[in-house]
Structure 1
């Protein structure tokens, strides 16, 4: 994206006044004086096994934390539909799996993170990444990382760190194993009613994660929930569905 072609891709946004740019990350700069600085040096020297999982994917897990630690702000994966402004949230992470009855979370997710510059929990995430890096286990360096780190903290420490943990409904209202049906148009009256109810619920939350690993090859059908949400909330919407 940090190229002439990338600028062309972003042109429809910049022409509309959005302050958007693409930058190639400088890892050494971003990790300087962080717990991951030594990890990067050892990785370059071949002292750490990068593992079988795409190294770019594992670096993405690290970069989001490093950028937030250095600059603060909002990080989110590209497979989100943002349904409500996130500007009211601060130092926030969302739960992916919760106990519906007890309201206790079992796993957090790092696909959407909102933190202040230099927040101490981000420092802990960087420590955990460098200390426990495993390039062979999917999720170990991202959702499982933030889960491990925060699970080690007591309730009072979480309060002291000024961290807000939102329920699954906030960022991940639809689980990965149920998202596919949202791409298909209703085929009967019962499904139409479920669609209407789902849209009412979804429009009360912050975002919908599309779980791209599951849905990247699925066509968005006209009349589907996803088609409706994109039409209502996206900035540039052309030919979003396929019949």
Structure 2
């Protein structure tokens, strides 16, 4: 993320940039990202890396907020597969589980007031040792306080609150089903109301994916990420 060069040893990055002309791989200047935001002092003081076991998660959680607040746009975790067009989804976030909003996928316009409120809350209540405190927890708290969304209203201050199935059709408690052989039903028919499928990398990071296994992950990759899957399985059936 902050390296001046990208690892090109497996040819994945060069191949994808050749195939997709609108794909850009960029490095991040973190000082610039956080400057003139409510999170500037947290970054400058290095609070995100102190007294915790997941500094990279803390950094990713606050960086996504600063980038989208400054530039506007869609953020999505790297452990999702997009299965439908999402360009029409603006100023939105989705419920993740129960009455918790997820921060794995969201869109906000530039300088959206909700994002500023989220960052200001983090500045005053930063908890680097608590997983999700700068992600789902704070989004849920802010929007519940602003709009009393305990009844799962569909809108809050112009922000659409999408159903769980939009991005998180498989709950985290049964994440393993995503990597088990399944019937070959088309992914879009299996998840008719979903835009993306979240694969819970926090839990599944060491789960092997086997080409041709029939798992939901491999089926989704075959249909929606064929070039990435082809390149990733050049040397091995596992990826």
User: What TM-score, normalized to structure 2?
Assistant: 0.83
> Deviation of residue 9 (structure 1)?
4.1
Greater shift in the superposed pair: 81-90 or 203-212:
203-212
Inter-partner Cα distance in structure 1 for 2:90 and 2:109: 7
The 3-state SS of whatever aligns with 2:115 is helix
RMSD: 2.8
Inter-partner Cα distance in structure 1 for 2:154 and 2:218: 38
What does residue 185 of structure 1 align with? Answer: 181
Inter-partner Cα distance in structure 1 for 2:5 and 2:49: 34
> Deviation of residue 31 (structure 1)?
2.1
The 3-state SS of whatever aligns with 1:96 is strand
What does residue 64 of structure 2 align with? Answer: 64
On the 8 A contact 2:122/2:138 being kept in 1, the answer is yes
| Equivalent residues in 2 for 1:228-243, closer than 5 Å | 228-236=219-227, 237-238=229-230, 239=233, 242=238
> Deviation of residue 235 (structure 1)?
4.4
On the 8 A contact 1:83/1:203 being kept in 2, the answer is no
> Deviation of residue 19 (structure 1)?
2.4
On the 8 A contact 2:71/2:110 being kept in 1, the answer is yes
> Deviation of residue 176 (structure 1)?
1.1
> Deviation of residue 158 (structure 1)?
8.7
> Deviation of residue 14 (structure 1)?
1.4
Q: Which has the larger radius of gyration?
A: 1
What does residue 164 of structure 2 align with? Answer: 168
> Deviation of residue 113 (structure 1)?
1.3
On the 8 A contact 2:83/2:188 being kept in 1, the answer is no
Inter-partner Cα distance in structure 1 for 2:106 and 2:80: 12
Q: Does 1:128 align with 2:121?
A: yes
Describe the superposition over 1:110-131 as per-residue Cα deviations: whole angstroms up to 9, x where unpaired: 1111111111111111111111
The 3-state SS of whatever aligns with 2:13 is helix
> Deviation of residue 74 (structure 1)?
1.0
What does residue 26 of structure 2 align with? Answer: 23
Match of 1:200 among 189, 193, 196: 189
Describe the superposition over 1:179-221 as per-residue Cα deviations: whole angstroms up to 9, x where unpaired: 21221214xxxxx4xx649762324410100001221222224
Greater shift in the superposed pair: 1-10 or 83-92:
1-10
On the 8 A contact 2:77/2:104 being kept in 1, the answer is yes
On the 8 A contact 2:49/2:55 being kept in 1, the answer is no
Inter-partner Cα distance in structure 1 for 2:147 and 2:92: 17
Inter-partner Cα distance in structure 2 for 1:28 and 1:49: 15
On the 8 A contact 2:178/2:199 being kept in 1, the answer is no
What does residue 84 of structure 2 align with? Answer: 84
> Deviation of residue 24 (structure 1)?
3.0
Q: Does 1:10 align with 2:6?
A: no
On the 8 A contact 1:10/1:20 being kept in 2, the answer is no
Describe the superposition over 1:118-176 as per-residue Cα deviations: whole angstroms up to 9, x where unpaired: 11111111111111111111111111111111111126999562100101000001011
Q: Unaligned regions of 5+ residues in structure 1, if any? A: 99-105, 187-191
Q: Unaligned regions of 5+ residues in structure 2, if any? A: none
On the 8 A contact 2:147/2:156 being kept in 1, the answer is no
